[in-house]
Structure 1
Amino acid sequence: MQDDIAFFGHPNVQSLHARTVEITKEEHLTLRGDCIIGVNAEKACADIDEKIKRKLARSDSHVKIEIIVGNDVYTISGAGDERLTLQNKHDIVIRKTNFVCPRTLSVRCDKASSDIPRGMVKALQDPGTKGIFRVTVE
């Protein structure tokens, strides 16, 4: 099962956080949001398709996140977890750790925002750049 979530760049995208990646439906981004790679996302955790939510809420599920910007694709692997509630109405966060909150979509990911190639980050600093946050759950 797959869901494509469109988002846009912002001048304050830094992508420096060592444990998380986030997209948000919010329009504004301060420099404190150093894990955020995109704003104006069309979905948050609460908006994810119910069938995908059920799969994400299983500890044996494999999650693949593809961040697509232009012709560039960056792939992150993670896992589902039975503790996921996927109720947040503003954000989606994927984590290297096992920490779970209503914003968490995936845990035990193999990469974080600080790992994203700097060329992709530079592109995401342009508000006109559209990205896709593709979530595939197996």
Structure 2
Amino acid sequence: MRYSFHAQGHPNVTSAHKTTFEVTMDPEIGEAADCIIGVSSEKSMLNFPEEFKKAIAKNNSSIRVVLTTKNAYDEIKGTGNVSLSLDHPTDIVCRKSDYVCSRTLMIKSDKAACDLNPLLIEDLSKGEKLNVDIIVE
């Protein structure tokens, strides 16, 4: 199953966070928001189809997030969990840890913001469009 949407980069994207990365519907972020890589997302987890949410919210479901800008891409792998509510109205967070809250899309991510392709982050810090593809297997 695949779900795709767009977000935007922002001048304050630093991608320095060591345990998470986030895409948000919020249009602005501050300089301290070092996990946020995309703003003004056209979708939140509330928009995910129910069948898609059910596939994610299974223990050890395999999830891939593919991030693409005009000059770069990256692929992040993680897992789902039965405790994921997938109902946050604005934020989508991928975590290296097992921590689960309403903002969590996946846990046990193999990358955080600081691990992402530097060319991707360069595009995002210039405000380029971000394509987000979430694939559940």
**What TM-score, normalized to structure 1?**
0.96
Matches of 2:103 and 2:88, distance apart in 1: 5
Q: Is the 8 A contact 2:16 2:114 kept in 1?
A: yes
Alpha-carbon displacement from aligned partner over 1:7-51 (angstroms, at most 9, x marks no partner): 001000000101101000000010121000010001112111211
**Matched residue count:** 137
Amino acid corresponding to residue 55 of structure 2 in structure 1: K
Matches of 2:40 and 2:106, distance apart in 1: 20
**What TM-score, normalized to structure 2?**
0.96
* Aligned-residue identity in percent: 34
Match of 2:90 in 1: 90
Matches of 1:86 and 1:15, distance apart in 2: 23
Match of 2:64 in 1: 64
- 1:132 aligned to 2:134? no
Match of 1:117 in 2: 117
Matches of 1:54 and 1:46, distance apart in 2: 13
Alpha-carbon displacement from aligned partner over 1:80-132 (angstroms, at most 9, x marks no partner): 000000110011000000000000000001111100122211110122x1111
Matches of 1:71 and 1:121, distance apart in 2: 10
Unaligned runs of 5+ in 1: none
Match of 1:22 in 2: 22
* Cα RMSD (Å): 0.9
Matches of 1:46 and 1:15, distance apart in 2: 25
Q: Is the 8 A contact 1:45 1:104 kept in 2?
A: no
